Chain A
């Protein structure tokens, strides 16, 4: 079993839709959870960072962490064509600062 599982998609939605992206993990040591957006041929851009169970909202983005279920989600409201990118979940724990990534989900928002 991989430490972090993420459905690679691709996921295609119409403009304005609510998008739900998810990752599951098996390592109980993970304490810090991140979502990155990566456009083609660019570096990953940090969207959300959380370290506790619950919800965190930033504009159209909401990150949700459920440590008891080892499940994290990213919701995008009112999706825009500019949101079309690959979304990577990443997590870390312990003292070594190593990020473990999911495979990434390719999202396309159609106008």
Chain B
């Protein structure tokens, strides 16, 4: 099973709202990622967790707050977003180790900020 599950599939939120995106995988992967994808662009890396610790933050604004409660779950907490933050948010996971770094993506959460 190479499935990464993301919820919700769609989310509309106001600029003063607080919401969370959730991601779950049961492949035993110990690296998990958040990517942001705008229309007709490739995914852009936001955060990487390795062994449940944040290893990469690509200078993402603090209105995005990641959390990795355990090896299977990854959350992205959203607060005071701007309309330009509207995008497809993708979660991915991979193994950690030599030659095992292929990443599997979820179907994404399509976020609209109004």
By a beta-carbon cutoff of 8 Å, the part of chain A in contact with chain B is 32, 34, 36, 41-46, 49, 51, 88, 90, 92, 96-99, 101-104
Instruction: With both chains docked as a complex, state the minimum distance between the C-beta of B70 and any C-beta of chain A, in angstroms.
Output: 19
Instruction: With both chains docked as a complex, state the minimum distance between the C-beta of A10 and any C-beta of chain B, in angstroms.
Output: 11
Residue ID in chain B nearest A45 by CB atoms:
B105
Cβ-neighbour of B42 out of A45, A49, A92, A104 (below 8 A): A104
Count contacts on B: residues with CB < 8 A to the other chain.
28
A97 touches B110 (CB 8 A): no
Cβ-neighbour of A103 out of B33, B42, B88, B90 (below 8 A): B42
B102 touches A32 (CB 8 A): yes
Instruction: With both chains docked as a complex, state the minimum distance between the C-beta of B39 and any C-beta of chain A, in angstroms.
Output: 9
18 contacting pairs across A/B (C-beta < 8 A): A41-B88, A41-B110, A43-B6, A43-B88, A43-B105, A43-B107, A45-B105, A46-B104, A49-B102, A90-B103, A92-B101, A97-B31, A97-B55, A97-B94, A97-B96, A98-B56, A103-B42, A104-B41
